[in-house]
Amino acid sequence: MESKIKKLLQPRKLGLGINVKNPIVMAPMTTFSANADGTVSEAELSYYKARSKGVGIVITATTYVSPSGKGFPGQFAGFDNNFLPGLKKLSETIKGEGALAILQMVHGGRMAMPTEIPGGQTISASAIPPERPGSMIPREMTEAEIQDTIKAFANTTKLAIDAGFDGVEIHGANTYLLQQFFSPSSNRREDAWGGSLEKRMAFPLAVIAEVKKVVKENGGDNFIVGYRFSPEEIENPGITLEDTLSFVDVLANQGLSYLHGSLMDFWQSSMRDKLNTKPVICKIMDKIYGRIPFIGVGSIHTPEDAIKALESGAEFIALGRELIMEPEWLDKIQTGKISEIKTTLSKNDKESLDIPEPLWNAIMSKPGWFPVIE
């Protein structure tokens, strides 16, 4: 076991010139804890400081790229220079603990909260509401709005560069706007932005191209650009695994730094085809075929979990809830205190774990999300 543990501590590379001290990534998780004006709060800085020591990469909670894209209360923003000082503090906090700092960027689309956006009207690829009670019917985006949103991702990338981040992650997962354009459920357009599978890829690919253009002009060769995606949807019509594998095949050739899956369980099989029991991640990595690094994620808690996941072929492993419960996960591995790694949360842990109050309240109000003990 001791020799296998070393796999969790070995340096990795992203591309040709980016050194990562180990394969462990802090997954992007919202804290619901930004200041009321959308700037990064002191509570968030403390939270990230506690969790950036040890891991190779920290991917932040997702920042919204335009006022119409705010997905939830307490989300921090990155759509103009007013947010630059806070973003700079965030990057410095993460990098000060030795991790690479990556800013995740999003537009909520139809999943934005009407009460949190100007005018209260959500927008999306098409005027199709989410399949949940009480959902607003979004307004179909105009060509001008599509172009403005593509530029918004580029502008936030420039802010990330100016703030000192090592990279950005384009959030194309978890039912937000980029996924809405890729999905046949939410995208019923018949123009250049929808219809065929290839046309449904057009918007995310345009965002990637514009982000890369900004990076080339301002960020240098070693600025990281990643892309996160959700492999399937349960809706019919919805994103199938076959759709995603075709998309991954294209994404792997876009000159990105990495791809990042969004899964609740690293080893889960298809949600849509119960007869297909091969893990989704293994199918994705087969399709990538070594062309681009892949970050795997999903209910990884113990060192044994992480080692098994790395042995699947994924170059990096992201920990989400586990790093909230155990900020010193890597430190305890490095210092031989593996038996002391926490995999549960006590109701008395809030202060000792530097968990912001809104995040703590969210955890406590959702039974089953975290393994909470008395």
Could you tell me if 91 and 101 are in contact, meaning their C-beta atoms sit under 8 angstroms apart?
yes
For the record, the structure tokens of 91 come out as: 């990057």
Instruction: Reply yes or no on whether 176 is catalytic.
Output: yes
Strand, coil or helix: 87? helix
Strand partners, 225: 168
Cis amide leading into 184 (omega within 30): no
CA distance 20 to 218: 22
CA distance 1 to 274: 34
Segments in the chain forming alpha helices (H):
2-5, 42-52, 84-96, 143-162, 177-182, 197-200, 202-218, 241-251, 280-288, 303-310, 321-325, 329-334, 357-364
Residue 248's Cβ-count burial label (10 Å; 0-12, 13-18, 19+) is: buried
Closest to 330 (Cα-Cα) out of 130, 192, 338: 338
For the record, the structure tokens of 300 come out as: 């990884």
Question: Residue 121 has what DSSP assignment?
Answer: -
Which amino acid is residue 175, in one-letter code? T
Among 176, 227, 258, 289, the active-site one is: 176
What angle do helix axes 241-251 and 280-288 make, rounded to 10 degrees?
Answer: 30
Backbone angles phi, psi at 335, to 5 degrees: -100, 10
Question: Where are the extended beta strands (E) located within 44-84?
Answer: 57-59, 63-64
Strand partners, 58: 26, 101
Residue 164's Cβ-count burial label (10 Å; 0-12, 13-18, 19+) is: middle
Interior angle at CA 341, CA 336 and CA 344, nearest 5: 175
Q: Which positions are annotated as active-site residues?
A: 176
